Amino acid sequence: MFDLLIIMFERVGMIVAVAFILTRFRFFQNMVHQDLLDRRQEMTAILFFGLFGIFGTYFGVALDMQTLHFKNMSLDLTTDEAIANSRVIGVVVAGLLGGYRLGIGAGLIAGIHRMSLGGFTAISCGISTIISGVLAGYFYKKGKHTSLLTAFLIGAFAETVQMLLILLIADPFPKALSLVQAIGLPMILANGIGTALFMLIAYNVLSDQEKVTALQAQKTLRIADQTVGYLRTGMNKETASAVCKILLDELRPGAVAMTDKTDILAFIGNEKGSVQGPIQTDITRQVIQNGELIVADLFEQFGNSCSSTFSAVVIAPLKTRNETVGTLKLYYPSRKAITDVTTELIAGLAELLSNQLEIAEADHAYQLAKEAEIQALQAQISPHFLFNSMNIIISLIRTNPDEARKLLSSLSYFLRQNLEGTTAKMVTLQQELAHVEAYLQIEEARFVDKLKVCIDAEPSIMQEKIPPLTLQPLVENAITHGIKDMDHNSIVYIAIEDTVNGICITVEDNGKGIEQARLNILGTEQVSSEKGTGLGLFNVNRRLIMSFGKESALAIVSVPNERTRISFQIPKSEVSRQNE
């Protein structure tokens, strides 16, 4: 029995090794990550796991009941032979990962094949294989991973059922009993452990893939957060140098460079050289001309004349409106250091930086057109906010799908209202408040147990009208600048009140306040600083004055480390006055 146990573990080791290969298949990844396969994927999975069961049969050993000697499997068994095998592993795994249909389908394929081989246990082993698929399907947990202990117990129990069926069906009984005594315990242990190991390898490999993907996404979002403040002002030597430094710190290549169509704007890295000057290489010109990413071996390009300490480079195009306006270049010490993941990440970053350049170009166009009243507010939808929102939704998709759907709906409404705000001249207070509430739902999910929002609005005046995108920038300012660094007890208070002089709208936070020097000019002009430009307040204030007069200008009161209160008044409509 001990010898058979060793042999079975050797066979199971080969079977489990296939599990690693299996994780490369798309249908298997879908079974683990999703809960629903399309018809083609399902048929592929059934066929694969059925063949996997057949593979387990042929990797078993044949036992001659006359001599009690083991030998390698052959295509046909005599009436005195039976098989010690790991067939049930593939069938049980199919049921645990895909449910009844996959378990039964794989069981039928492997079971019918076993019957065709003959031997005095052919019928009992074939039937037990099908039952194993049904049993595993019963323990299938939609949307959840099966624990390793459960996988072991199910695999062991499935093999136990096979031993019982051999005793009940196989004939003659004395021969069946001798067989079960010889192979029962080794097969139960080996197949239980094999099933658990199969699941362990599958889950671990796919989990590692998820971690790599998550880290890459996190790194991309972090880079986006750091670079957005630079490229939104345009691509020049100063901003290119800052972006290159960020990329060098985050990605750790040998060097990073940015160019426009003709000149090198910045070069940051381990190799000393000029940070400016005309483009010298043909491969850079090729990227600018073709607009496609290139991975190049510098020694192949320049031979011994290459004096660089780097031997490989990835060059990605930077585009605005589908026109290449420059390149992003990352240098590496060897070609081996550039993996598929690396090139995919660089391509994504180039697209991200291109989008930021397009935003900068759009901002510049707005200024030239002198339509900053509405469009500049639309530009305040920062990529930082969008990336944070998407990151929150992605993290909730698996843990709280209902909340993820709710936030996605809020984000959709928020973006739609921003888009509509570019055409509408006036909206009701009710519409503006709904826009703010959509924004706050996303921010409250981001600042879990940190942010408290209080809204006090009188229903009787909610049909009064104001310029679109007036209230939301004030609330965003309170969150991003006022309470940003607070760990708890952050409060944003919004009030819409009917007063004698008109309708008073107030946004107040209990954050860090505003310095007096900055407070004196906020709302009256743009303010350049590390904390922002004040463009949102500037445009809100200008549009209020243009719509209602100087009496509706923003009033800002701030106490350092205590609170900031921004308020304004709008006149009542004739209908409201007549109803008083």
Least confident residue range of 125-134, 191-200, 393-402, 551-560: 393-402
Tokens read off for 274: 């000029």
Distance (Å, whole) CA 309 – CA 345: 23
Q: Collapsing DSSP states into helix, strand and coil, what is residue 199?
A: helix
Spatial contact of 517 and 527, defined as CB atoms under 8 Å apart: no
Task: Report pLDDT for 532.
Answer: 53
Ranked by mean pLDDT, which of 192-201, 202-211, 418-427 comes out on top? 192-201
- In 321-376, the DSSP E strands lie at 323-332
State how far Cα 28 lies from the chain centre: 19
Q: For residue 414, what is the enclosing H or E element? A: helix 401-420
Residue 254 has pLDDT above 90, yes or no: no
Distance (Å, whole) CA 88 – CA 192: 9
The model's pLDDT over 215-235, given as tens digits with 9 standing for 90+, comes to 777 777 788 788 877 877 778
Task: Report pLDDT for 421.
Answer: 59
Spatial contact of 552 and 570, defined as CB atoms under 8 Å apart: yes
Kindly report the backbone phi and psi dihedral angles of residue 153, in degrees, each rounded to the nearest multiple of 5, phi listed first: -65, -40
For the chain, report the end-to-end CA distance as a whole number of angstroms. Answer: 97
Residue type, 568: F
Ranked by mean pLDDT, which of 182-196, 332-346, 452-466 comes out on top? 452-466
Q: Which of 118, 101, 111 is nearest to 162 (CA)?
A: 111
The model's pLDDT over 69-92, given as tens digits with 9 standing for 90+, comes to 666 655 566 666 777 788 888 899
The model's pLDDT over 536-562, given as tens digits with 9 standing for 90+, comes to 788 788 888 888 888 899 999 988 888
Domains annotated on the chain, with CATH? 2-210 (1.10.1760), 233-369 (3.30.450.40), 372-579 (3.30.565.10)
Cross-strand partners of 565? 508, 557
Contacting residues for 512 by C-beta, under 8 A, at least 6 apart: 482, 483, 485, 486, 560, 561
Task: Report pLDDT for 57.
Answer: 83
Residue 276 has pLDDT above 70, yes or no: no
| Cα angle 506-389-420, degrees, rounded to a multiple of 5 | 60
Please give the average per-residue pLDDT across 326-350, as a whole number: 86
The 10 Å CB-count burial string (b at 16+, else e) for 49-79 is: bbebbbbbbbbbbbbebeeeebeebeeebee
Q: Which of 288, 293, 373, 398 is nearest to 340 (CA)?
A: 293
Task: Report pLDDT for 21.
Answer: 72
**Residue 233: other Cβ atoms inside 10 A:** 16
Distance (Å, whole) CA 328 – CA 350: 7
Distance (Å, whole) CA 360 – CA 228: 10
Q: Which of 23, 11, 147, 18 is nearest to 83 (CA)?
A: 11
The model's pLDDT over 389-403, given as tens digits with 9 standing for 90+, comes to 777 788 778 778 888
Please give the average per-residue pLDDT across 376-394, as a whole number: 62
Please give the average per-residue pLDDT across 428-437, as a whole number: 89
